[in-house]
């Protein structure tokens, strides 16, 4: 019996082939003889997008008809990674498509490589947002991700003479097949100017805001399909444009260039992602970006509320708005402004709706990363919001006085305005006061927020605080990135674990099966071989595939202590130089990560690592026992290649500084063992996998505080530890810098005289632990067993679990399954 499949929806190999050639012809305007790789990639992307659209539209129709309660995830960053492969996995058509393109003489892996990833984030915070969108779609939770469509995402990193060089990321230069622009749903945002008070027709006090500038926000929508569901949610990113009518005056007076200039100023707003992850340095454009995407998003939600005939008084029943750090915290004042000034609501009702709608996630314990805006800058750009914040502050401080009478120091500490010197708006305080929920991202982090960073707020509103330990999506970070391990696992326990990661525990039954262990080991080995080939090609370095692949991949930051890792490398190097025949377990040290362009010390650490590599990799005494590799331009695409190849995952931040970490989870999920401090989610990973399967070292967070309180003296460690002194002296001698003794002096001085992140205090514990790692690695059966148990016990760290907990404890939201009707 004959079956006809639709060219836009059919999933058979035959149909996919036909649709692919059709798109090549009708969308790309090419035929095979003259098509480039990019043409083929685009044709395939459109073929896959066609198959998403049916699900996307169905989802939208059902959400609209039922006016479903919806999560609105506000984030300045979404680090989505390449879409094509992920959509193939989630549609369940990876193998069919691979076959279809191969029958046309093409290689799927090759086409996947073509995709420029949207790098619209710095690191953990942006990637977490992306994992959460994947899990919300998979769990069939109605949700919208709202953010900025930066024209330039995180910079591309090149390494020249060992130094990081930044290159602009032109991710849109070949077009973006995954998005659909919706100019008909544009929204206008005001900036600058002044306010005027007036009395309305009912005799009420009102405020009018006369802006200096108006910006138009155009939404660009990307469908996000859940894993083997029909739910396709939306990522809605805003681009800034000049409103059409805005330059008329200038145009009519003949000032054409002036009019064009206005347009360029407006478009600047969504031009570039700020590449810092530690401080906002009071940049006007950054604050403008924040109000821009927050205002567009809130106005969009209000339009949706009206469109579904929900009264505005029930805004908080239709939407719950999660603030990803303080970058969107201006939402507190903006929602108040929209409800009061634009929609005539009274203060108390508006405040109740605002608090019930908003929830705040904190992502950092670094004091310098807590956002504050100088009052002068803030009032100039957002005069009305500043008035509203003063009023919120007035009511809030009255509340504090009532709860803690005669405690003026507490009022000063908690105020939304920092008045200790130049005045600032404290965005974390605004977020805490305006939200009904405040959460940290790992148990230890939440505890430290309560005891330290947000202590006063915890005492004021203990019921608002809760923990939501981070998670990662197993779809991208094992099914897509590690098909070999995925297949082995599924051959033993079926494939339910992809949606129920706790099911991985069934692997424990096979840990004594020699056949299974040997398969496990040969898969790791094959993946390492692939990385060896990549390193040979990229870096021209020949790596020993039997060595320990010891990997640290994350943003460069002093608190993350990549330089502690470097001290270990030099320690081993010194041992070899002192005794060239010493028996050392061979290691390959692999680094990946970017430094903020203005963060001098982080860039110097990158230079140090590359300089050590130049010496160690070429010293004949070392032979093939040690290699140091810096893989440039670390990204999501690249991360997917690196995690599966790791034997050892470096998670060595100073305890009390890493809020959670998520790379730690991705490595362990791919069978790497972790060497780490008791920081962030490491604590919980160790708890889950068992202490005997985790390499722990170093000071705990309380020990760090105690040591600092006693008075920490790094020089004492330098003078009393022979190996440590030799390492520092080796760097100082110019051994890694062609005799230049000045190059690394700023780094060495900072360690010897300050050592804010306690590298010297943790040095010996780290070296001892690494020696133990080397010893364990020699017992290959034991290592394999530990690796299997790590994977088997990672179930907790699925982002599905995190999202489930957000739904239960914060969002009060249920799933809405989507049937694929006509």
Q: Which residues bind ligand 26V (CB under 6 A)?
A: 122-125, 128, 274, 276-280, 363-364, 369, 371, 441, 470, 658-662, 680
Q: Which of 327, 445, 607, 666 is catalytic?
A: 666
Nearer to ligand 26V, 25 or 559 (CB): 559
Picking from 170, 310, 180, 306, the residue whose alpha carbon sits closest to that of residue 235 is: 180
The tokens of 348 are what?
């108390």
Cα(468)–Cα(810) distance, integer angstroms = 10
Question: Active site includes 627?
Answer: no
Of 384, 379, 453, 389, nearest to 415 by C-alpha is: 389
Q: Examine the residue annotation and report whether 554 is marked as an active-site residue of this protein.
A: yes
**Residue whose C-alpha is closest to residue 144's, from 298, 343, 306:** 298
Question: Least separation, in Å, of the C-beta of 364 and ligand 26V?
Answer: 4
128/272 with CB nearer ligand 26V: 128
CB of 323 to ligand 26V, least distance (A): 13
CA angle 296, 301, 302 (to 5 degrees): 100
Exactly one of 363, 384, 735, 796 is catalytic; which is it? 363
Distance CA 800, CA 141 (A): 11
Q: Note if 473 is an active site residue.
A: no
CA angle 91, 92, 96 (to 5 degrees): 110
β partners of residue 696: 676
Structure tokens at 429: 């305080």
Nearer to ligand 26V, 138 or 439 (CB): 439
Would you state the structure tokens that stand for residue 681, as one six-digit string? 């989610």
* Closest distance of CB 737 from ligand 26V, Å: 31
Tokens representing residue 648 in the block: 């050892």
- Please state the closest distance from residue 286 (CB atom) to ligand 26V, in A: 7
Determine which one of 190, 560, 627, 735 is catalytic.
Answer: 560
With respect to ligand 26V, which residue has the nearer C-beta, 68 or 122? 122
Nearest approach in angstroms of CB 652 to ligand 26V is: 13
Smallest separation, CB 661 to ligand 26V (Å): 5
Determine the straight-line distance between the first and last CA of the chain, rounded to whole angstroms: 22
Q: Is 33 labeled as catalytic in the residue annotation?
A: no
Out of 476, 554, 561, 587, the active site residue is: 554
Residue 501 CB, shortest distance to ligand 26V, in Å, is 18
Both tokens of residue 647? 């034997």
Supply the minimum distance, in Å, between the C-beta of residue 657 and ligand 26V: 8
CA–chain centroid gap for 564, Å, is: 24
- Minimum separation from the CB atom of position 794 to ligand 26V (A): 16
Known active-site residue 603: no
- Sign of CA pseudo-dihedral 520, 524, 529, 530: positive
Selected catalytic residue, list 662, 674, 677, 784: 662
Residue pair 270/239 in contact by the 8 Å Cβ criterion: yes
Q: Which backbone phi and psi does 250 adopt, to 5 degrees? A: -65, -40
Integer Cα distance of 623 and 582 in angstroms? 12
Out of 127, 327, 555, 568, the active site residue is 555
User: 314: which 2 tokens?
Assistant: 């029930």
| CB of 525 closer than 8 Å to CB of 544 | no
Identify which of residues 662 and 787 has a Cβ nearer to ligand 26V in the complex: 662
CA distance 39 to 45: 10
Nearest Cα to Cα of residue 562 among 627, 528, 607: 607
For β-strands 587-592 and 626-631, DSSP reports them as parallel
Closer by beta carbon to ligand 26V, 219 or else 440: 440
User: Please, which residue, 425 or 488, has the CB nearer to ligand 26V?
Assistant: 425
Residue 512, number of CB atoms within 10 A of its CB: 10
Structure tokens at 296: 């567009």
The least CB distance from residue 677 to ligand 26V, in Å, is 13
For tokens 């939770």, the residue is 141
Which residue lies nearer to ligand 26V by CB, 661 or 698?
661
618, 521 contact by CB (below 8 A): no
- Dihedral sign for Cα 303, 309, 314, 316, please: negative
221 versus 658: smaller Cβ distance to ligand 26V = 658
Q: Smallest distance, Å, CB 659 to ligand 26V?
A: 4
Active-site annotation holds for 316: no
Cβ nearer to ligand 26V, comparing 279 with 538: 279
Q: Can you tell me the distance from the alpha carbon of 236 to that of 215, in angstroms, rounded to the nearest whole number?
A: 17
C-alpha–C-alpha distance, residues 745 and 752, integer Å: 10
Cβ distance to ligand 26V smaller for residue 40 or 811 = 811
Nearest approach, Cβ of residue 367 and ligand 26V (Å): 12
Closest CA to 271 of 252, 281, 285: 285
Residue number with the smallest Cβ distance to ligand 26V: 124
Nearer to ligand 26V among residue 218 and residue 330 (C-beta): 330
Instruction: Compute the least distance from the CB of residue 745 to ligand 26V, in Å.
Output: 29
CA-to-CA dists, residue 503 to 142, 417, 506, 555, 795, angstroms: 26, 49, 6, 32, 7
Question: Which helix or strand (DSSP H or E) is residue 548 part of?
Answer: strand 548-553
**Nearest Cα residue to 382 out of 192, 236, 524:** 192
Contact between residue 561 and residue 602 where contact means Cβ atoms under 8 Å apart: no
Nearest residue (CB) to ligand 26V, 266 versus 651: 651
Helices (H) and strands (E) in the chain, counts: 33, 25
Nearest to 743 by CA among 598, 607, 567, 564: 607
Pairing of strands 465-467, 437-440: parallel
621 Cβ partners below 8 Å, 6+ apart? 576, 577, 580
- In which element (H, E) is residue 196 found? strand 194-199
Q: Which residues are the active-site residues?
A: 363, 554-555, 560, 662, 666
């Amino acid at each position: 019996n004959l079956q006809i499949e639709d060219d836009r929806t059919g999933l058979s190999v035959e149909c996919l082939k036909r649709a692919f050639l059709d798109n090549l012809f009708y969308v790309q305007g090419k035929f095979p003889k003259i098509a480039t790789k990019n043409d083929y990639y685009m044709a395939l992307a459109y073929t896959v997008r066609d198959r998403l659209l049916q699900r996307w539209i169905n989802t939208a129709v059902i959400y609209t008809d039922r006016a479903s309660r919806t999560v609105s995830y506000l984030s300045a960053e979404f680090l989505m990674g390449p879409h094509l492969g992920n959509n193939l996995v989630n549609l369940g058509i990876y193998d069919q498509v691979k076959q279809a393109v191969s029958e046309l003489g093409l290689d799927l892996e090759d086409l996947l490589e073509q995709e420029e990833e949207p790098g619209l984030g710095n690191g953990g915070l942006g990637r977490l947002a992306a994992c959460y969108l994947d899990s919300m779609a998979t769990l069939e939770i109605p949700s919208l991700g709202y953010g900025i469509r930066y024209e330039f995402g995180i910079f591309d990193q090149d390494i020249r003479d060992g130094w990081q060089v930044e290159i602009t990321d032109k991710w849109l230069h070949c077009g973006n097949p995954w998005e659909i622009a919706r100019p008909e749903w544009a929204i206008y945002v005001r900036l600058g100017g002044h306010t005027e008070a007036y009395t309305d027709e009912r005799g009420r006090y009102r405020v009018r805001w006369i802006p200096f500038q108006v910006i138009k926000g155009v939404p660009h929508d990307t469908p996000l399909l859940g894993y083997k569901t029909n739910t396709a949610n939306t990522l809605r990113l805003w681009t800034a444009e000049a409103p059409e009518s805005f330059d008329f005056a200038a145009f009519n007076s003949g000032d054409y260039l002036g009019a064009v200039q206005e347009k360029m100023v407006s478009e600047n707003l969504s031009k570039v992602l700020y590449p810092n992850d530690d401080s906002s340095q009071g940049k006007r454009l950054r604050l403008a970006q924040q109000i821009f995407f927050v205002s567009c998003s809130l106005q969009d939600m209000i339009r949706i509320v009206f469109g579904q005939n929900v009264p505005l008084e029930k805004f908080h029943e239709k939407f719950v708005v999660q603030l990803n750090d303080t970058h969107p915290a201006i939402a507190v004042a903006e929602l108040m402004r929209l409800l009061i000034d634009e929609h005539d609501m009274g203060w108390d009702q508006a405040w109740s709706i605002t608090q019930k709608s908003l929830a705040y996630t904190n992502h950092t314990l670094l004091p310098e990363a807590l956002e504050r805006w100088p009052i002068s800058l803030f009032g100039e750009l957002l005069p009305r919001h500043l008035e509203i914040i003063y009023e919120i502050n007035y009511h809030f401080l009255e509340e504090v006085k009532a709860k803690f009478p005669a405690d003026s120091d507490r009022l000063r500490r908690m105020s939304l305005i920092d008045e200790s010197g130049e005045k600032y708006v404290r965005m974390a305080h605004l977020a805490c006061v305006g939200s009904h929920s405040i959460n940290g991202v790992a148990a230890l982090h939440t505890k430290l927020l309560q005891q330290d960073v947000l202590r006063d707020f915890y005492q004021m509103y203990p019921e608002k605080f809760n923990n939501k330990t981070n998670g990662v999506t197993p779809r991208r970070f094992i099914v897509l990135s590690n098909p070999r391990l995925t297949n082995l696992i599924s051959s033993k326990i079926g494939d339910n674990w992809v949606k129920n990661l706790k099911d991985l525990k069934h692997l424990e039954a096979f840990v004594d099966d020699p056949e299974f262990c040997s398969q496990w080991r040969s898969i790791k080995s094959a993946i390492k071989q692939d990385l060896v080939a990549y390193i040979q090609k990229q870096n021209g370095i020949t790596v020993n595939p039997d060595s320990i692949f010891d990997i640290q991949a994350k943003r460069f930051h002093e608190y993350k202590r990549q330089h502690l890792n470097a001290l270990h490398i030099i320690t081993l190097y010194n041992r070899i130089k002192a005794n060239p025949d010493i028996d050392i377990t061979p290691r390959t040290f692999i680094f990946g990560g970017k430094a903020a362009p203005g963060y001098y010390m982080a860039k110097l650490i990158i230079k140090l690592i590359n300089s050590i590599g130049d010496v160690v990799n070429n010293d004949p005494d070392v032979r093939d026992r040690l290699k140091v590799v810096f893989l440039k331009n670390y990204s999501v695409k690249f991360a997917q290649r690196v995690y599966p190849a790791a034997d050892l995952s470096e998670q060595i931040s100073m305890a009390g500084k890493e809020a959670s970490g998520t790379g730690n989870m991705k490595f362990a999920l791919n069978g790497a063992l972790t060497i780490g401090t008791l920081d962030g989610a490491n604590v919980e990973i160790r708890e889950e996998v068992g202490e005997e399967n985790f390499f722990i070292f170093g000071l705990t967070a309380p020990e760090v505080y105690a040591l600092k309180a006693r008075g920490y003296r790094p020089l004492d460690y330098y003078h009393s530890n022979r190996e440590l002194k030799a390492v520092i002296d080796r760097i100082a001698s110019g051994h890694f810098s062609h005799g230049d003794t000045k190059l690394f002096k700023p780094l060495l001085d900072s360690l010897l005289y300050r050592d804010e992140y306690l590298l010297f205090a943790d040095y010996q514990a780290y070296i001892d632990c690494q020696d133990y790692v080397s010893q364990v690695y020699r017992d290959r059966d034991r290592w394999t067993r530990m690796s299997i148990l790590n994977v088997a016990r990672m179930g907790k760290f699925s982002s599905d679990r995190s999202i489930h907990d957000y739904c239960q404890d914060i969002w009060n939201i249920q799933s809405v399954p989507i049937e694929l009707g006509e």
